[in-house]
Copies of this chain bind each other. A is one copy, B any other.
Amino acid sequence: MATPQSETHHARIMDDILRRIVDGTWKPGHQLPKEVELAETYGVSRMTMNKVLTQLAQDGYVTRRKRIGTVVAEPRAQSAVLAINNIRDEVETLGRVYRWHLLSNEQRPRNAQDQRLLGLEGDEGARDALFLQGLHMSNDEPFCLEHRVINLAVAHDAREVDFRKEVPGHWLLQTMPWTNARHQLRAINISGRDATLLRLPSGAACLEILRKTQIESNWVTYARLLYPGEAHQLIAEFEGHPGS
């Protein structure tokens, strides 16, 4: 009697409850029957029912409180999962040839420009930091301009890497997996050296992404990615989902 149907009990019950929530039969604030009752209704053990309800709570569809019971959650603040693709993949998915072109590579203390461009906080990059600048090319056309600082105190091996051949973002992801990142997005009018490098007229709209990457409580790297706006229409695509 473990798996009587091809579909698991989990899935069957999950779908049933989710349907009622999504189609409005159970509106936000609606109180669900208690765990034991639901278990009886669906003819499963309390443990199985608990697994379903716990999952629903994790997915943000219901909130559960002792003594109170399980109620349909208020609709979440709208959120979305943004897939930030590897730039190489992004280019190659478009059927183009990817190439990385390192522009500069310096081990030095930060300066005022770094701090402004990359939004460095505190004494981050004050010492033992590697400053890189490079272009991601698509069919030998500029696709994305990257400024980056790497914390050598955390990513020790970065000293010995030849970033003319290794793409910094890719190398870091390989070397230091399981990092966390904070991102900021905005649209800016490009100008000066950035415009020249991206071969864009001064004033062209670009999407700027600032990314701060951490592992545990140590900062690993800051990156500033500049994408031409109009040229590459679809910059990011993501789907709504309930909070995890």
Contact = CB atoms under 8 A, between A and B. Distances in A.
A207 B28 CA distance: 32
A178 B21 contact: yes
Interface of A is mostly: mixed
A81 interface: yes
> How often does this chain occur in the complex, in copies?
2
A77 interface: yes
Interface residues of A, number: 59
Given A240-B179, A241-B244, A234 B84 contact: no
Nearest to A239: B182
A206 interface: yes
B178 A78 contact: no
Given A84-B80, A186-B207, A216 B177 contact: no
A203 interface: yes
A69 interface: no
Nearest to A47: B47
Interface string A184-215: 11111100000000000001111110000101
A83 interface: yes
Nearest to A18: B178
A234 B186 contact: yes
A85 B215 CA distance: 27
B229 A78 contact: no
A233 B186 contact: yes
Contacts of A180: 239-241
A147 to B, nearest CB: 17
Contact of A204 (B79, B189, B239): B189
Contacts of A213: 240
A66 to B, nearest CB: 14
B80 A173 contact: no
A16 B205 CA distance: 46
Nearest to A228: B187
A234 B92 CA distance: 30
Interface of A: 21-24, 27-28, 61, 74-75, 77-86, 89, 173-174, 177-189, 203-208, 213, 215-216, 227, 229-230, 232-241, 243-244
